[in-house]
Amino acid sequence: MRIVKQTSLYVVLTALSLVLFFPMLYAFSASFMSAQEVLLGHFLPSTLHFENYLQAFQDVPLFRFLINSIFISLVVTFGVLAVSSMAAYAFVFLDFKGRKLLFVLFISTMMIPWEASMIPNFVTVQQLGWINRYAGLTIPFFASAFGTFLLRQYFKTIPKEMQEAAQIAGIGHFRFFMNVVLPVSKTSLVTLGIYTFLTTWNAYLWPLLTTTDELVRPLQIGLRQLQSQETVNEWGVVMAAVMVVAVPTLIVLFIGQKHLQKGLTDGALK
């Protein structure tokens, strides 16, 4: 009975995996096909056409876009970690007037959809001269209510005795924050880091508005550019570019999946 149940579970799981992952497998396979094979509707390439990848890198500055995406995502990730952890520290370890009120204010920003501030933000960034600059793609995203909330939840589990001990030893707040709080919160920081990296990498509307040339344009908008300038027959090249866009985040997700799941669930439920 047990074996029957297990086997059927495996069959169901495998079938579902195939269905769900099919679009990516299909795209991966097509990225090696010649234009003709794609049009004939083959599912597997007869020979591996690596030149699709070369072509994709030649048609648009895909390498530049890749570097831009990596740079922007890393800067936002570290920006969010720094800014949110500082705010979370204040909320947990420092006593100040209006703490509760300010926390409510922070949380309330989670209810404001990003689109609500999109138009004036565009004007602000334009006036700051940040169109086609990395600054416009990174700095507006440094403050994160979600990040502050997630880290605050974790910081609260750090025993108060540690803070008292640090005070007795004459260790100032900044050293306590840097040398004690941050190192013990490594897991939450990693979770928030992975989450921020993925969301920044995948951002679409804001980079579309603020990058009008190729200098700082990230991969997502580069893919849009490639897709719109390719002729109908070049699906192999477009799918090769898709692979370049999707594989880095898939790797990040595969490595960080356990972290992310735990962190996000805790953040959602506590």
Partner 1 sequence: MAMERAQVERTGGLPATVAREKLFRRILGRQPAAWLYLMPSLILFAVFVFYPLFKTIYLSFFLSDMKGLPTVFIGLDNYVRLFSSPEFIQSAGSTLLFVLYTVPATIIIALILALLANEKLKGIGFFRTIFSSSMGISVAASSVVWLFIFNPSAGILNRILSLFGLRGINWLADPNWALFSVSLTTIWLHLGFTFLILLGGLQNIDEHLYESANIEGAGYFYQLRRITLPMLSPTLFFVITVSMIDAFQTFGQIDLLTKGGPGNSTNLIVYSIYQKAFINFDFGSASSAVVVLFFCILLVTALQFKFGERKVHYQ
Binding to partner 1 in span 54-73, by CB under 8 A: none
> Considering the rule CB under 8 A, would residue 44 count as an interface residue with partner 1?
no
Half-sphere exposure of 33 (CA within 13 A, CB side): 23
CA distance 267 to 259: 12
Query: Got the DSSP string for 14-60?
Result: HHHHHHHHHHHHHHHHHTTS-HHHHHHT-SS-SS--THHHHHHHHHS
State which residue, 58 or 167, has the beta carbon closest to partner 1: 167
222: nearest Cα among 78, 62, 39? 62
Among 48, 54, 165, 205, binds partner 1 (CB under 8 A): 205
Among 119, 165, 178, 215, binds partner 1 (CB under 8 A): 119
Query: 154 to 173, contacts with partner 1 by CB under 8 A?
Result: 156, 167-168, 170, 172-173
> Considering the rule CB under 8 A, would residue 115 count as an interface residue with partner 1?
yes
Any residues with CB less than 8 A from the CB of 66 and at least 6 apart, and which?
219, 244
Distances (CA, A) of 189 to 30, 34, 87, 256: 38, 44, 14, 12
Choices 19-27, 49-57, 58-66, 182-190; region in contact with partner 1 by CB under 8 A: 19-27
DSSP 181: I
What tokens appear for 32 in the block? 């090696």
> Considering the rule CB under 8 A, would residue 101 count as an interface residue with partner 1?
no
> Considering the rule CB under 8 A, would residue 26 count as an interface residue with partner 1?
yes
State which residue, 6 or 58, has the beta carbon closest to partner 1: 6
DSSP 139: G
Among 48, 54, 82, 165, binds partner 1 (CB under 8 A): 82
State which residue, 183 or 256, has the beta carbon closest to partner 1: 256
> Considering the rule CB under 8 A, would residue 3 count as an interface residue with partner 1?
no
C-beta of 118: minimal distance to partner 1 in Å? 7
C-beta of 240: minimal distance to partner 1 in Å? 11
> Considering the rule CB under 8 A, would residue 95 count as an interface residue with partner 1?
yes
Query: 243 to 262, contacts with partner 1 by CB under 8 A?
Result: 245-246, 249-250, 252-254, 257, 260-262
Among 89, 130, 149, 155, binds partner 1 (CB under 8 A): 89
Query: 133 to 152, contacts with partner 1 by CB under 8 A?
Result: 139-140, 142-143, 145, 148
Size of the site for partner 1 (CB under 8 A): 97
Q: Tell me the residue type at 192.
A: L
Distances (CA, A) of 98 to 103, 146, 151, 239: 8, 20, 20, 53
State which residue, 53 or 177, has the beta carbon closest to partner 1: 177
Any residues with CB less than 8 A from the CB of 254 and at least 6 apart, and which?
none
CA distance 264 to 185: 15
